[in-house]
Amino acid sequence: MNFLLDEVARATLRLADAGVPSPRTDAEELAAFVHGVRRGGLHEVADSDFDALYWECVARRAAREPLQHITGRAYFRYLELRVGPGVFVPRPETEIMVDWAIETLRAMDVADPLVADLGTGSGAIAISIAQEVPRSRVHAVEIDGRALSWAKRNIDASGHGDRITAHLADLRMALPELDGGVDLLISNPPYVPTDDAAQIPPEVRDYDPAPALWSGPDGLDMIRELEAVGRRLLRPGGAMAFEHGDGQGIDIPRLFPEELGWRDVRNRKDLAHRDRFVVMRRSDGA
């Protein structure tokens, strides 16, 4: 085993002992970051290039600082995003919801679909939609000024800023100028129950911003609010998708009843085959 791989193996054991959920992956990602290569290019790094900075990064990760805060980057679909303190780190699970949204937009008989991304965080969802649905116009809403600054940075770097408008606003009252005209509303809202705080991993509990996490004792407070927001913003026939936590999917459909103008309310699964997000449409006569 060469020196670099031996050091990565030692780092993996250290991270595993610290309770890091994916120790080997994180040890390799940190090595790639330190040496300015992709994870798959570690074999190109010469032994003599190994640096003590690596062990500083490993120590930070062992203390449960998020990997993405150490490297300053997060990957989402086809994007490499800048992230750090003050912004929610995008998760791979959300990519499946965005895939559904993109396919839904492509199937719409709308030349320039209008999209609202509520709680944009890093801008991951908004930028992905703008990139993959080239004629879409996306409004990205964020209540937290620190998070919005990260979103703007990523939007500016994406090359799609001409079709993405960032707003500092409470998602419950945002975008009144678009009432009744939005083709698709998408959100990764806060949905962590405050009652579960003690069980939340430290990478999440201690680093992700509170407005992106907590949503009442059962985690559904903001999702309840989304019912009225979707009813206000969506055009008849418009679509909505939002993410939720494990076990919440069973309670959500009843919050979007047919008598309030909702139809086709369905739970969708993530790659682990767990209910992860809900989709629905406004009735054509709504």
Binding residues for substrate: 188-191
Residue with tokens 């116009």: 137
Binding-site residue positions for S-adenosyl-L-methionine: 119-123, 142, 188
Q: Where are the alpha helices (DSSP H) in the chain?
A: 3-17, 23-35, 53-62, 67-71, 93-107, 124-132, 145-158, 202-205, 221-233
Q: Give me the half-sphere count of Cα atoms (radius 13 Å) on the Cβ side of residue 183.
A: 21
- Say how far apart CA 16 and CA 21 lie, in whole Å: 7
CB 151 within 8 A of CB 126: yes
Binding-site residue positions: 119-123, 142, 188-191
- Say how far apart CA 281 and CA 270 lie, in whole Å: 20
The number of beta carbons lying within 10 Å of the beta carbon of residue 102 is 19
CB 191 within 8 A of CB 224: no
Closest C-alpha among 75, 69, 67 to residue 91: 75
Residue with tokens 């989304």: 226
CB 276 within 8 A of CB 96: yes
Question: What is the amino acid identity at position 107?
Answer: A
Structure tokens belonging to residue 156: 């500016």
Give the dihedral of Cα atoms 190, 97, 94, 213; nearest 10 deg.
0
